[in-house]
């Protein structure tokens, strides 16, 4: 590798010491690099964390400095490229960030010498099918997630009704705060907090987990990655139009109305993550969750 993109969450490296260290080290090794500094909430003077790769840009690798949220944002920005990502953990849990700051020079040497592996992480795609009975400024919406797609209650909703179909057949009807559709990578995120199972990122499945269901028997469901999932928003209160919102990887939500459906399938796109250390997922899990 010779051409690098450095994407830094300004809140995590607010003095830019580590960012500057990486930039100077790469230049000393006759590598080229482009630096983008920002945070997920907005731009700072040096630039934005959200970026677009132009036709003139050519990168062998993206180095993301921050936490898992930074990795998710960078993966969105690189979705239409084959640029692999390596994460440097400046957050708390850091399931997606394999590298610790003290390892950085050794890691950079290995990247320069092409001493690494690349893992393809599964993504899921969600599309909103609008109920034509309700007017909306956003009639179509489709997006992709590396971690999860979350349908949750909006505004002052106390509970929402969700009818879940799998391959065209009704699987379950939930009264809950929402539902999480998660990839294997996202199983250690919101899915875990909601009581869902942890699965290896190498598996080929989709996890559906209800959020605070009003039932003693509602549990997570593990589905095949080939299954097609539809979630229908049910009408619960006459006076309220927007019953729920949908969010992709924690991005700002899109309002949903009764009768709207969300179709979720496996995406053809994947996220390429650089693997540097021969450490099993289960050891990482043990150390992160303690």
* Catalytic sites, residue numbers: 68
Closest CA to 214 of 176, 160, 161: 176
- What does the alpha-carbon distance between residue 173 and residue 233 come to, in Å, rounded to a whole number? 10
The partner residues of 6 in beta bridges, in order of sequence, read 35, 63
Angle at which helices 104-112 and 17-28 cross, to 10°: 40
Contact 246, 126 (CB under 8 A): yes
Q: How far apart are CA 199 and CA 195, in angstroms?
A: 13
Contact (Cβ atoms closer than 8 angstroms) between residue 39 and residue 49:
yes
Q: With contact defined as beta carbons under 8 Å apart, do 184 and 200 qualify?
A: yes
What's the order of all strands across the beta sheet hosting 205-211? 221-224, 205-211, 178-182, 148-153, 244-248, 254-256
**Cα Rg of the chain, angstroms:** 20
Q: Are 230 and 171 in contact (CB under 8 A)?
A: no
Alpha helix (H) residue ranges in 100-208: 104-112, 190-193
């Amino acid at each position: 590798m010779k051409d690098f993109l450095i994407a830094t969450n300004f809140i995590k490296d607010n003095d830019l010491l580590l960012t500057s260290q990486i930039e100077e080290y790469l230049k000393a090794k006759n590598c080229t690099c482009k630096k983008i500094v920002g945070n997920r909430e907005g731009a700072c003077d040096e630039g934005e964390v959200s970026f677009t790769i132009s036709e003139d840009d050519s990168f062998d690798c993206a180095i993301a400095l921050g936490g898992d949220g930074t990795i998710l944002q960078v993966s969105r920005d690189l979705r239409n490229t084959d640029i692999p990502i390596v994460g440097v953990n400046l957050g708390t849990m850091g399931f997606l960030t394999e590298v610790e700051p003290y390892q950085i020079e050794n890691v950079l040497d290995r990247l320069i010498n092409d001493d690494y592996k690349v893992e393809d992480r599964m993504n899921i795609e969600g599309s909103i099918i609008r109920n034509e009975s309700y007017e909306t400024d956003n009639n179509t919406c489709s997006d992709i997630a590396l971690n999860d797609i979350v349908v949750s209650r909006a505004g002052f909703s106390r509970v929402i009704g969700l009818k879940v179909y799998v391959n065209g057949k009704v699987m379950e009807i939930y009264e809950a705060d929402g539902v999480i559709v998660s990839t294997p990578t996202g199983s250690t995120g919101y899915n875990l907090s909601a009581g869902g199972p942890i699965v290896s990122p190498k598996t080929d499945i989709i996890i559906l987990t209800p959020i605070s269901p009003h039932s003693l028997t509602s549990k997570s469901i593990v589905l095949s990655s080939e299954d097609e999932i539809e979630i229908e928003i049910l009408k619960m209160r006459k006076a309220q139009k927007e019953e729920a919102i949908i969010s992709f990887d924690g991005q700002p939500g899109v309002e949903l109305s009764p009768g709207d459906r969300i179709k979720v399938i496996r995406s053809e796109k994947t996220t390429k993550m650089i693997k540097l250390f021969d450490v099993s997922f289960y050891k990482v899990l043990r150390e992160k969750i303690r």
